[in-house]
Amino acid sequence: MSTVFIALQANEETRAIIEAIVLDNPEAIVKREPAMVKINAPGRLVVNRETIESIVGRSFDLQEMHIHLITLSGNVDETDDSLTLTWNN
Amino acid sequence: MDTQVTKKKLGLKERYKLLTRDLGWETTFHSREEVFPYVHYEGIKIHDWDKWEDPFRLTMDAYWKYQAEKERKFYAIIDAHAQNNGHLNLTDAHYLTAIKIFLQAITPGEYCAHKGFARVGREFGGVGTQVACQMQSLDEVRHAQTQIHAMSNYNKFYQGFHAFSDQRDRIWYTSVARSFFDDALSSGPFEFMIAIGFSFEYVLTNLLFVPFMSGAAYNGDMATVTFGFSAQSDEARHMTLGLECIKFMLEQDPANLPIVQKWIDKWFWRGLRILALVGTMMDYMLPKRVMSWKEAFDIYGIENGGALFNDLARYGVRAPKGWGDAAAAIDHMSHQLMLGLYQWSFGTAFHGWIPSDDEMEWLSAKYPDSFDKYYRPRWEHIKKLAAAGTPFKNYGLAKLCQTCQLPCVFTEPGDPTLICHREIDYKGEKYHFCSDGCKEIFENEPEKYIQAWLPMPQLFQEPLKGDLGAWMNYVSLVDGQDNGDFDGSQDQINFDKWRGMATSNK
Ligand SMILES: [Fe+2]
Ligand SMILES: [Fe+2]
């Protein structure tokens, strides 16, 4: 199965996002590199709004992620509740 | 963050529909063919433009909000960098070589991408595509501006930053990137999307930006990290646009596949050639290295590109034709080009140097199959010549590839001791190529590439007529200041002096 990934800037705002990704994707592997954090997962990775909100304690718009994104890999689907990355193989 | 929002009345999907797709209208005054005249001649068949949708569903209002936020973050850091002598936090001034190449070769490419997306955003027939291209066009002009702005701080203190736009147009190594973008800009709208949206953004920008920005962070270059990350935050959207466009073309009509495949083959190879420059930055120019070019290529090229082409296999797409040659070249590309840049350093608006023992150890470890066997002996020889006061300088001019415009310094696939060189005769003229990939690209569109502007023939034409001094003026290169050896350069002397002043009371 191909690896999907998302990379975010290492900063205060993304700590909660990364924490949420780890909670919701048990197979995700977090790699901390200078100034950035890259998260790999086999085939599929999902970012859930509710999980982030439960960590930051405020409402969170998933599109805020655009400010911190560095790169990603996989087919994207974004709704109000989640951002999903997938490879179909 | 001022982006806190209460629960919206409309969901993302509805908002996207209202604020994007519903902005379109059926033309009545002129026919669709007259309004969108460029979407047919490349042979791509589209039956339903509405099938294309931005999977991020970003609308213009949200776009402006987040872009403004990015700009505020960017300028806060750039101001702090300038106010606090951020340039003295660099690991070493020879790091700036990488930044000079970036400004001279890559930043102007951002501006070209801006122009290209503005154009195709007008030429495409679907609203979703038009809006996404318009956003990308604005992103790209922002990238060009923020990069020039961030690097202008280095121009106050160091050489080689002052004339990037002349150098983009006139100097030789930048013509590699220039010709890539000129080629894309003079293509039809669909080919442009494959060239920039797909090959450049999806397959290649990870290799260009991600390890490079991480490298900048590692080397204390706050200015570059900041413009890099600010630009890169748009990149996920650009990559997604590229991937969606390619899927859209393939889904719309099976007859599109062979056309698309040919473009994938072409633009992968053209992109790989630009990345040769990036390979030298990663392997030779960062004083503190994050990962080797080869490691980056394994992650972002082989693994990620492989995943992508496996995914697209359901449409009948195969990996680009040059994929195998690329994988074989990775052990050699950066070393071969760096040896070239070193010996031609009289003609570069950045400095050259011989890697230190420490750096050569690192290169041996990262390139166990190639460095000690093929490249260390050459550097050792060059080092001996330099120590003897007879440094190895090549005042001959490089033979350039007619397609990618790199000097023909690369070797045969399968024999790293034999220079690869191809040539063909076309309408009574001889044309040279660095590889089979570049030769095939020429053969498919000879009438396009015989028009290519090449920097070496330019030297022998009006107004220079072979005068090297006049050429230096023409490319805005100050001899003895911008070029030559890093050791003893003003950049080296000033950096050491200023850093000494910054860290002591002298
Ligand atoms: Fe860009
Ligand atoms: Fe070439």
pLDDT at B213: 81
Shortest CA gap A77–chain B (Å): 5
pLDDT at A89 over 90: no
| Nearest-ligand number for the alpha carbon of B437 | 2
Q: Which of A3, A9, A36 sits opposite B307 (nearest CB)?
A: A3
Confidence of residue B5 (pLDDT cuts 50, 70, 90): low
Ligand 2 centroid to Cα of residue B101, in Å, is 19
H or E, element range at B211: helix B205-218
- The CATH number covering residue A24 comes to 3.90.56.10
What are the pLDDT digits (tens) for A32-69?
988 889 999 999 999 999 999 999 999 999 999 999 99
Superfamily of the domain at B13-346: Ribonucleotide Reductase, subunit A (1.10.620.20)
Task: Give B378's contacts (C-beta < 8 A, 6+ positions apart).
Answer: B339
Task: Report how far residue B217's alpha carbon sits from residue B288's, in angstroms, rounded to the nearest whole number.
Answer: 10
Number of domains observed in the structure of chain A = 1
From chain A, the residues in CB contact with B55 under 8 A are 75-78
Average pLDDT over residues B315-319: 95
Q: What is the dihedral of CA B472, B475, B479, B481, to 10 degrees?
A: 180
Nearest to B306 by CA among A4, A22, A44, A34: A4
What are the pLDDT digits (tens) for B340-364?
999 999 999 999 999 999 999 999 9
pLDDT at B2: 57
CB contact under 8 A, A34 and B314: no
Ligand 1 centroid to Cα of residue B75, in Å, is 18
The residue of A80, A81, A83, A85 whose CB has the most chain B CBs within 10 angstroms, and thus the best one to mutate to test that interface, is A80
Name the residue of chain A whose CA is nearest to B225's CA: A35
pLDDT at B396: 84
Query: CB–CB of B235/B201 below 8 Å?
Result: yes
CB atoms within 10 A of CB B159: 22
B233 against A81, higher pLDDT: A81
Q: List the structure tokens of B97.
A: 């070589």
pLDDT at B317 over 70: yes
From chain B, the residues in CB contact with A13 under 8 A are 1
Name the residue of chain A whose CA is nearest to B301's CA: A73
Ligand 1 centroid to Cα of residue B302, in Å, is 23
Confidence of residue B366 (pLDDT cuts 50, 70, 90): very high
pLDDT at B323 over 60: yes
Q: Which of A4-8, B316-320, B391-395 has the lowest mean pLDDT?
A: B391-395
pLDDT at B7: 54
Query: CB–CB of B226/B81 below 8 Å?
Result: yes
Shortest CA gap B233–chain A (Å): 5
From chain B, the residues in CB contact with A74 under 8 A are 307
What are the pLDDT digits (tens) for B23-43?
888 899 999 999 999 999 999
pLDDT at B506: 65
Highest mean pLDDT among B220-224, B328-332, B363-367, B496-500: B363-367
The percentage of residues in chain B with a pLDDT greater than 90, rounded to a whole number, is 70
The residue of B8, B20, B232, B312 whose CB has the most chain A CBs within 10 angstroms, and thus the best one to mutate to test that interface, is B232
Q: What angle do CA B427, B428, B434 make, to 5 degrees?
A: 85
Q: Which of B71-75, B251-255, B402-406 has the lowest mean pLDDT?
A: B71-75
H or E, element range at B402: none
Shortest CA gap B187–chain A (Å): 27
Task: Report how far residue B15's alpha carbon sits from residue B20's, in angstroms, rounded to the nearest whole number.
Answer: 8
Amino acid at B162: H
Shortest CA gap B140–chain A (Å): 15
| Mean pLDDT estimate for chain B | 91
Task: Give B323's contacts (C-beta < 8 A, 6+ positions apart).
Answer: B268, B305
- The boundaries of the domain holding residue A18 are 3-86
CB contact under 8 A, A63 and B229: no
The residue of B311, B314, B317, B318 whose CB has the most chain A CBs within 10 angstroms, and thus the best one to mutate to test that interface, is B311
pLDDT at B1 over 80: no
Q: Which of B11, B218, B237 sits opposite A80 (nearest CB)?
A: B11
Q: Which of B57, B218, B233 sits opposite A70 (nearest CB)?
A: B233
pLDDT at B207: 83
CB contact under 8 A, B56 and A3: no
Ligand 2 centroid to Cα of residue B409, in Å, is 10
The residue of B19, B70, B91, B206 whose CB has the most chain A CBs within 10 angstroms, and thus the best one to mutate to test that interface, is B206
The percentage of residues in chain B with a pLDDT greater than 70, rounded to a whole number, is 98
DSSP state letter for B289: -
CB contact under 8 A, A63 and B58: yes
CB contact under 8 A, A64 and B55: no
ipTM (interface predicted TM): 0.89
pLDDT at B3: 56
Residues with CB under 5 A from ligand 1 (ion): B 110, 140, 143
Partners of residue A3 on adjacent β-strands: A42
First to last CA, chain A: 6
Confidence of residue B202 (pLDDT cuts 50, 70, 90): confident
pLDDT at A5: 95
